[in-house]
Homo-oligomer: A and B are copies of this chain.
Amino acid sequence: MPSDRTRTAILAAAERLYADRGFGDVTLRDIVAAADVNLAAVNYHFGSKDELIAELFVTRSLALNRERLSELRAAEEVRGGRAPIEAVLRALVGPTLRGCLGPDNQRSTAARFMIRVSIESVPPIRRIRNREIDHLRKFVAAMARSLPGCSDVELYWGLHFALAMAQQTVRDSERLTKLSDGKCDVDDVDDIIERVVSVAVMALAGAWC
């Protein structure tokens, strides 16, 4: 069994740097400096920079999906597989929003890293990202259970808009804060989640589901 110390130090440093500054301007030398390991360690342990990014991404991607699905399952268990649509949408957007917004000390590097992924879409990740579709399909299915009779197309648009609002809020919370002179509180995560969810529900309901 290899002594993982170097490996994990690299992963942690890389994730934090990517989350903070994006893929564009984080070099291998930045990472090894932050992890306090030798330059060659990355290639020794991961093969290449791209493979490091890919490993980071698949790990976090699986974790996020797991978190969403466990929230979804918890909501559906309450009433035998028929959760209210609000709960389904909360399970979809909640994990990301909670991890990325709110007081600094509560933000997770993992969530912020995933947002970077959704923003920058660097080559090694683009190749893997297709699996996301399969994951989202599960939520479409859950939404269909919540709103039987609602047409598929409207479900897709509803999910799409829900994710859009959540991601853009995370991505550009600064602009919203500036525009509103701080009157829109981007640290009140629960409020934001409810806003996103309720608008998405209105979108679905307004489309005569």
Q: Which residues of A contact B (CB under 8 A)?
A: 24, 119-120, 122, 130, 132-133, 136-137, 140, 152-153, 156-157, 159-161, 163-165, 167-169, 172, 175-176, 178-180, 183-184, 195, 198-199, 202-203, 206
Q: Which residue of B lies closest to A167 (CB)?
A: B168
Question: Contact: A156 with B168, CB < 8 Å?
Answer: no
Copies in the complex: 2
Which one of B122, B172, B206 contacts A199 once the chains associate, using CB atoms below 8 Å?
B206
In the bound complex, do residue A184 and residue B156 qualify as a contact, i.e. CB atoms below 8 Å apart?
A: yes
Q: Chain B contacts of A183 at CB under 8 A?
A: 152-153, 156
Nearest 9 Cβ contacts at the A-B interface: A164-B168, A156-B180, A202-B202, A199-B203, A164-B165, A164-B164, A160-B176, A156-B184, A161-B165
The 21 sampled A-B contact pairs (Cβ below 8 Å) are A120-B120, A133-B178, A153-B183, A156-B180, A156-B183, A156-B184, A157-B184, A160-B168, A160-B169, A160-B172, A160-B176, A160-B179, A163-B168, A165-B165, A167-B168, A195-B203, A198-B206, A199-B199, A199-B206, A202-B202, A202-B206
In chain B, what residue has the closest Cβ to A200?
A: B199
> Chain B residues near A184 (CB, 8 Å)?
153, 156-157, 160
